Amino acid sequence: MNILVASAELAPFAKAGGLADIVQFLAIEWEKLGHTTIVVLPKYQFIDTEHWGFNPTDLILYVPISHWTEFARLWVGYIPNTNTKVYLIENQDYFGRSAIYGDPNEYPDNDRRFIFYSRAVFETAKAIDFYPDIIHAHDYHAAFTMAFLKSQYRFDPRFSKTAGVFTIHNLAYQGIFDPKRAMEFSTFGMKEFYPGSWFEHHGAVNSMKVGIMFADKITTVSRNYANEIRFPYFGEGLHDVLAHRGADLIGILNGVNYAEWSPENDSNLFKSYGIETLTEGKKVNKYELLKSFGVPEEDNYELPLIGTVTRLAEQKGIDLITYCLETHLQNNWFRFVILGSGEKRYEDYFRYLQWKYPTKALVHIGYSNTLAHRIIGGSDFLLLPSRYEPCGLTQMYALRYGTVPIVRFIGGFVDTVEEYNPEKLTGTGFTFYQYNADDMSFAISRAFNYYQKEPHWSQIRRNGMKMDFSAKRTAEDYIKVFKWALEKIGRI
Ligand code: ADP
Ligand code: GLC
């Protein structure tokens, strides 16, 4: 199959969250399965083209915007260690900026930037003579590709047999835009904008809705989340739209690239370990992590260590943590280590905590892949109390590293973490349901009942390490959905 991927993020070049990882993992796995994938990405200023081996081509794209044409130059490179090509769309005005989406707030012209990008995806395929069977678009940034596929490019022989699949990673970011701008830039014009049209939602253009309505198949990143979003509580105002497309909405659980995330061969760790060397391996990694944060050696290193690696955004349930963490630290209940960046109010809170409890609140504000591995490997528990979570990757990483997840039992956590059952010695973590700090604390206290208590402590960690969420299965599931999409348009 020829697969054309449209995504605003792709690891390792441009990453804000799990989207970048998943797009990369899928491309790697599809290549192994014998499919041809190309990924089209904006050429953000911060992408180190020299380091990653990108080269400019002599291809110029002519991208229709409103009633005029704008230009872009195409660059080409590869996902490291693969033959999968990545095309970068260079347009200084749109993408010559310090961030993907905004710094810190969304750029005010994201409507224009991402509509331009979505259109340039088609012009890329034309310029390089690529005939896609599938256009696979991710999140609101690429959503307009689904509309272009069914309109402007429908009669182009290159795309007339192409099916569109739209994947929702984060329903909360919808790309809600002023119709006068968005309808003009996308060249559909205001005639296509009326109450109930596929572009319209509550009087504005809603890019997420555009993707959902125009796609042949819609996927999201866990089965449970695919059900949750059909109802108001998790539907972010789009539950009716999603229920309407319910027959074409499928949940495919994200997967992990175990080549990168396995404690057996992880050069980021202080010491690698496997299921047989778990106790010793975890201990070394925990101790070294504590030392690296300057915890004095005379302190009690056996105190449980709860870690988290996260965007500091409301989505991640940071409010529950800030509500009770200080009290728990004062009571010497556990140590807390966090790596994250995002909203200033949260960053400030954790900086304050670190200043007040330097040996108990271990805080790194910023982005660090190495430290992410070390925290996931070195912590006893990983705490993820999200408000909503389409899938979540770090709990899957944690399981593989013998780090016990404590999660809210919603979204993708339902599909990946099972409450520990001390009678049967089954399960992999601890869960709570209500969005409530007391319920979260109760889950922590249940978890601590088994901390260093055998046979439970070995059992629960081994259960987790044995779980297999490999991206290969995810990639195969997408291929199935691609086939359904082709069936839908009468190709097979
Ligand atoms: P989301 O995409 O909603 O942020 P996921 O759990 O799907 O959540 O993916 C988050 C990814 O980003 C993981 O690979 C995680 O390790 C990584 N990550 C998040 N924050 C940081 C950070 N500050 N430094 C390094 N990696 C981070
Ligand atoms: C989003 C979601 C996260 C998911 C990731 C990759 O950012 O918040 O739950 O794992 O996308 O699909």
Beta strands in 322-396 (DSSP E): 335-342, 361-365, 381-384
Separation of CA 397 and ligand 1 centre (Å)? 11
pLDDT at 336 over 90: yes
169, 98 Cβ separation under 8 angstroms: no
Tell me whether domains 2-255+472-488 and 275-468 share a fold.
yes
**Amino acid symbol at 51:** H
pLDDT tens digits along 291-322? 999 999 999 999 999 999 999 999 999 999 99
Tokens of 423: 């009678």
Q: What order of strands is seen across the sheet that includes strand 249-251?
A: 55-65, 68-78, 85-90, 36-42, 2-6, 134-138, 163-168, 217-220, 249-251
pLDDT at 107 over 90: yes
Ligand 2 proximity of 221 Cβ (cutoff 6 Å): yes
**Mean pLDDT on 22-51:** 98
Ligand 2 proximity of 389 Cβ (cutoff 6 Å): yes
Separation of CA 70 and ligand 1 centre (Å)? 34
Could you give the dihedral angle defined by the CA atoms of residues 113, 116, 117 and 123, in that order, rounded to the nearest 10 degrees?
-160
Separation of CA 339 and ligand 1 centre (Å)? 10
* Ligand 1 atom at minimal distance to the Cα of residue 389: 3
Q: Report the percent of the chain where pLDDT is more than 70.
A: 100
**Amino acid symbol at 294:** G
Is the CATH number of domain 2-255+472-488 3.40.50.2000?
yes
Separation of CA 394 and ligand 1 centre (Å)? 7
Q: Report the percent of the chain where pLDDT is more than 90.
A: 99
Name the residue of 7, 9, 15, 21 to mutate for ligand 1: max ligand atoms within 8 A of Cβ.
Answer: 21
**pLDDT value of position 297:** 93
Tokens of 161: 């047999």
**pLDDT value of position 492:** 84
Separation of CA 123 and ligand 2 centre (Å)? 28
How many angstroms separate the Cα of 469 from the Cα of each of 139, 261, 315, 466? Answer: 22, 11, 23, 10
* Ligand 2 atom at minimal distance to the Cα of residue 225: 9
**pLDDT value of position 103:** 86
**pLDDT value of position 301:** 97
Is the CATH number of domain 275-468 3.30.750.24?
no
Judged by DSSP in three states, 105 sits in coil
**Mean pLDDT on 439-449:** 98
Q: Can you give the residue ranges of every domain in the chain?
A: 2-255+472-488, 275-468
pLDDT tens digits along 403-415? 999 999 999 999 9
214, 146 Cβ separation under 8 angstroms: yes
